[in-house]
Every structure is written in C-alpha cells, then in structure tokens.
Amino acid sequence: MLGGCAWDAPMTTVIPRSDLARAILPVYEIITWTAAAIALVVFVALAWILVRFRAGTGAPLPAQTPGHSLLEITWTIAPAFVLLVIGIPTIQVIFRTQEPPPPRALEVTVLGKQWWWEFRYPALGVVTANELHLPAGRPVVLRLEGPDVIHSFWVPQLGGKRDVVPGRSNQIVLTADTPGEYWGQCAEFCGASHARMGMRVIVDAPDAFDRWVSAQRAPAVEPAGPAADGKTIYARSACVGCHTIRGLSAGVLGPDLTHFGSRTMVAAGLLPNTVENVAAWVRNPAAFKPGVKMPALGLSDAEARAVAVYLTSLK
C-alpha cells in the first residue's frame, strides 16, 4: 500500500485530466470502496470468530450443521448484489468509452512498434515519435495500429489502457482538458524492452498547439557550425536507411527525426533529450534498450557527438 502512495506521481490514475479518465474514475472508486468495505466486514468477523470461539486443546468436536437454507440463500444473494453494484456502472462506462468520435475530432494514428511510438496526424501532415501533442478542449480520436506485436497504449491521467493489435483497428476517443505533460507507457508485454517503451503526451492550449503544428510542418532547419559536421556524418552513415529527415533521408523503420530537437525526451521517454544523452545513445543503443533494432554504427565519440549536436539542433 505504501508503494502506491506517492505525492508527485506522473502516472497516477486518480487525478484525471480528460473526459475519458473522469468517466472511468467513479467506477474505480466504487469497486475500491466496495472491496474495502467487504474486506473490513470479513476481517473483523474473522477476528471476532477466532477470538470468541477459540477452543482449547482436546476440546470435543463442536455441533455439526449439515445444510442451512437461510445461510446458503444469503451467501448466494449477497455476492450477486455486489456484482450488480459493480457491474451496472462498469457496463455503462464501457459503452461510454466505445462511442464513435464526434465529427470535429482531431484524428491521430498511433503506431506501437518495438519499442517506440509513432504518431501521425493525417489531416495536418505531421509525423512525430514518442511525444504526442494534443490540443486541450478538442476531442481527439487515437486510431491504434501496430505493425509488429501487440502493445497497449496507456496514459493513466488521460484514461484507461487499450491494446494496439496488429491487423485490428482499436480506438480511443477523449478530450484532454488541462494543458500539461503526461507520462504514458506501453502496458502489454511486447519483448525485451517493453518496460522502456514509454511516451509523453503534451497537452497544449489551442494556440500553442497550432504553433507546434506549424513548427512540425516546417522543413528541417539548415545546421551551422559543428551541427553541419553532424549532418555530413549522418548523411553518409547507415542512419539514412532507417530515419526520415525531410529533404535529407527517407527511411521509415525508425522515428522521423525532422524535428527531433523539439522533443523533450529521447529513446521513448527514457532520457532527457540532451547532446550527451543522444551521443551516448548513438554510440550504443543496446546499452539503453536491450534488443533494440537500431545497431551501434561504429561512430567515434567525436562523430557521435557531432551527430547529436546536429539532431538536437533540429527544433
């Protein structure tokens, strides 16, 4: 119980920040308090019985009662009543969470991959990775798709988890209501680095969201100074086979890096996006993410640092 108590918990489920999370919370509360009340009755009764009816050693067998209609009817009806109390609001909320999106909803395609997230905004022409920007107050529909194995999209403060299943279209409809940064995590075991498949959701005020979209649609910035060396190294390395930087490379296996420097974290929410961390990641990705598909490229420390300076300059 103490392990669950943290004052500043970025993945709390009990401080909802979307309509979906606010709809789910009452169900959680009903179940938690119902279970707590039942546990209290059971443990108090058990303690009382243990003390009150304790027999000494060598006591004779107590009177046996074979069959007791009243008791049996009671312990059939009582659990059925409890299931009813839990079941009715649960089913109501399940239907609520399956409602179709309103027509003005912003559409985002969420692709769960081993072990990172791709976010595509088809109507806006924006593609990004591991950091999902959403406008506060506007309904969004997240279309969950997966090219490899089953993942699960979960941002606790924005609502319940939902599986990302290859070949199947799941969706989440929600309206985030409070600007801020929310942590998310893949919640379905998907391989060696499942635990390191995190994400951030940044809920922006509407005008800040529009500014973000414009910045993401802009072409990649042209580097100067040491970043230009990094660009040269990037362009002649295997990086170009897997990553897109618009105007420079068009790989699709790894995250789009056109505006890599605008993200706060690197490696799917694992490390702050600093030159040092990016350089260390480029030198040896498997040190951070066991099983990662990105190979170590054999760059020297100086080359890795130059690439990191370039990538972090791509705001």
Binding positions for ligand CUA, rule: CB under 6 A = 112, 115, 151, 186, 188-190, 194, 197
d(CA 142, CA 106): 8
Measured from the CB atom, the residue of 190 and 227 that comes closer to ligand CUA is 190
Q: How far is the CB of 133 from ligand CUA (least distance, A)?
A: 21
Nearest distance from C-beta of residue 134 to ligand CUA, angstroms: 20
Closest to ligand CUA by CB, 225 vs 290, is: 290
Nearest approach, Cβ of residue 118 and ligand CUA (Å): 12
Q: Which residues, other chains included, contact 263 with Cβ-Cβ below 8 Å and sequence gap of 6+?
A: 128, 129, 130, 131, 273
CA-CA distance, 285 to 297, in Å (whole number)? 9
Residue located via tokens 């243990």: 50
Q: What is the nearest approach in angstroms of ligand CUA to the Cβ of residue 256?
A: 19
User: Which lies closer to ligand CUA via its Cβ, residue 147 or residue 241?
Assistant: 147
Could you give the CA distance from residue 136 to residue 204 in angstroms, rounded to a whole number? 6
Size of the chain, expressed as the number of residues it contains: 315
Which token pair is 52?
Answer: 């009150």
- Cα(110)–Cα(199) distance, integer angstroms: 12
Closest to ligand CUA by CB, 114 vs 312, is: 114
H or E element that contains 161: none
Phi, psi of 90 (to 5 degrees): -60, -45
141 versus 195: smaller Cβ distance to ligand CUA: 195
Distance of closest approach, residue 190 Cβ to ligand CUA, in angstroms:
3
Nearest distance from residue 196's CB to ligand CUA, in Å? 9
* Residue pointed to by tokens 């669950």: 4
Q: Is the Cβ of residue 198 or residue 223 nearer to ligand CUA in the bound state?
A: 198
What are the φ/ψ torsions at residue 86 (nearest 5 degrees)?
-80, -40
Residue 298's region, left for phi above 0, alpha for psi from -120 to 50, else beta, is left
| Closest separation in Å from C-beta 238 to ligand CUA | 24
User: Residue 219 or 291: which CB sits closer to ligand CUA?
Assistant: 291
φ, ψ for residue 54, nearest 5 deg: -65, 125
Query: How many CA within 13 A on the CB side of residue 67?
Result: 1
Instruction: For residue 209, report the phi and psi dihedrals to the nearest 5 degrees.
Output: -65, -45
Q: How far is the CB of 298 from ligand CUA (least distance, A)?
A: 28
* DSSP element (H, E) containing 199: strand 198-204
Q: Using the minimum distance from each CB to ligand CUA, give the nearer residue, 190 or 233.
A: 190
Q: How far apart are CA 271 and CA 264, in angstroms?
A: 9
